Structure 1
Amino acid sequence: MPSSDTRDKIVAAALATFVEKGVASATLQAIRERAEVSNGSLFHFFANKQSLCEAVYLEGIQDYQNGLAEQLKQSGGARESVAAVLRYHLEWTERNRDRARFLSERGYTGWGGDLARQVDQANTALMSTVSAWVRRHVAEGTLKPVSPEVVVATLLGPAQLLCRAWLASDSAAAPTSHLDELVAVTWRALSA
């Protein structure tokens, strides 16, 4: 029986192939060959290219959101949390360039079935953490009383645009080179 290491190899090969060739042009054969696994191993874990694409997407979202939630839970003051979240976002993107590119290009396009449910659960869990963080800092008087959705858009929107530009170009400055500016601008927008 194929192991979870085999599954991980297949997912990593799929991500590399999707980024290199695009999802539409990627074939299961190319992914299987890159992963150096048999057809049986590939189909043991994934029924088709769509299920493999969904696994790559879901694992990327979960990895990113789990780390982001940890930043909100660990940081002390509101400004420190803003800096920690932005640093995490920029560093995660730099460390996971292919994964970030895939998530950015694929986006959430109305996935169906089980994936939609799992993505909704991940989003709900993250927003619960964000909401608790916002309530705490609004009560302390350090954040403006705005909705968690607006906080997320204000906190991550500019960083995401910066990262997308970097992902699309090999010549752009690394996102982390803009960290201090992003923290200053974001903090001005959110602080009470």
Structure 2
Amino acid sequence: MARPSRKDDILQAALACFSESGVDATTIEMIRDRSGASIGSLYHHYGNKERIIGALYLTGVGQYAALLDAGIEEGMSAEACVKLFVTCYVDWVAANPDWARFILHSRGRVEAGEVGEALREANREQGRRIAGLLSEHRRAGAFKELAAELFNSVVIGPSQDYARNWLAGRTKVGLIDCRDQLAQIAWESVKA
């Protein structure tokens, strides 16, 4: 397995600092100390704390997108597609709770920051891939008539809400233990 790059080391150090101290209280010096990077290296790779926040956010959502892309197979049924969206999300959150917590709490800041347009473009691209995957199933009448924005919210909304509560320690049942049930709920909510 390849050693993480200096950029990865900085992002992981930032995530640890954000998790321990909060995003606002974390300083560049704390990230530098935690990562072992020189201040020059840190500024060379990211420039400032806001760009670190943006890069960490984009990397995390990119990991979910990659997990989803890896699970997509030619000719998947509508049910399998919908369930894949949920199971990939649950799997990623369960495997990366600190990162997921950061993403859930930092979206507005990232959207308003320097990488906001990059985030919007990544979301548009992911949306196009998902729409393409679902288009044949939509034409075949596999889904209820729902606006695309509503469809996405109905599919992932319950999982996001449960994940948020699980990440906050407000659930008795583990997120991964609810994975298949959340996927089934999503499918039942949108199937024709």
Counterpart residue number, 1:156: 156
Distance in 1 separating the partners of 2:36 and 2:170? 29
| Alpha-carbon contact 1:90-1:176 (below 8 Å) kept | yes
**How big is the shift at 1:151?**
1.5
Distance in 1 separating the partners of 2:28 and 2:18? 10
Counterpart residue number, 2:84: 84
Distance in 1 separating the partners of 2:186 and 2:113? 34
- Structure 1: segments with no counterpart, 5+ residues: none
Q: After superposition, where does 1:12-51 map in structure 2 within 5 Å? A: 12-51=12-51
Judge which range, 92-101 or 125-134, deviates more. Answer: 125-134
Q: After superposition, where does 1:129-144 map in structure 2 within 5 Å? A: 129-144=129-144
> What amino acid does structure 1 have at the position aligned with 2:100?
A
Counterpart residue number, 2:117: 117
Judge which range, 44-53 or 99-108, deviates more. Answer: 44-53
| Alpha-carbon contact 2:143-2:190 (below 8 Å) kept | yes
Distance in 2 separating the partners of 1:87 and 1:21? 30
Counterpart residue number, 2:67: 67
> What amino acid does structure 2 have at the position aligned with 1:54?
G
> Matched residue pairs, number?
189
- Measured against aligned partners, the alpha-carbon deviations of 1:128-163 in whole angstroms (never above 9, x if no partner) come to 122223321122222123222112101100000000
| 1:74–1:166 distance in 2 versus 1, CA, 3 Å | farther
- Structure 2: segments with no counterpart, 5+ residues: none
> What amino acid does structure 1 have at the position aligned with 2:34?
R
Name the SS of the counterpart of 1:142 in structure 2: coil
> What amino acid does structure 1 have at the position aligned with 2:7?
R
Counterpart residue number, 2:173: 173
> What amino acid does structure 2 have at the position aligned with 1:47?
G
TM-score normalised by L of structure 1: 0.88
TM-score normalised by L of structure 2: 0.88
**How big is the shift at 1:26?**
0.6
| Alpha-carbon contact 1:65-1:122 (below 8 Å) kept | no
Distance in 2 separating the partners of 1:94 and 1:6? 25
> What amino acid does structure 2 have at the position aligned with 1:105?
H
Distance in 1 separating the partners of 2:89 and 2:48? 31
Judge which range, 64-73 or 30-39, deviates more. Answer: 64-73
RMSD: 2.1
Name the SS of the counterpart of 1:169 in structure 2: coil
> What amino acid does structure 1 have at the position aligned with 2:112?
W
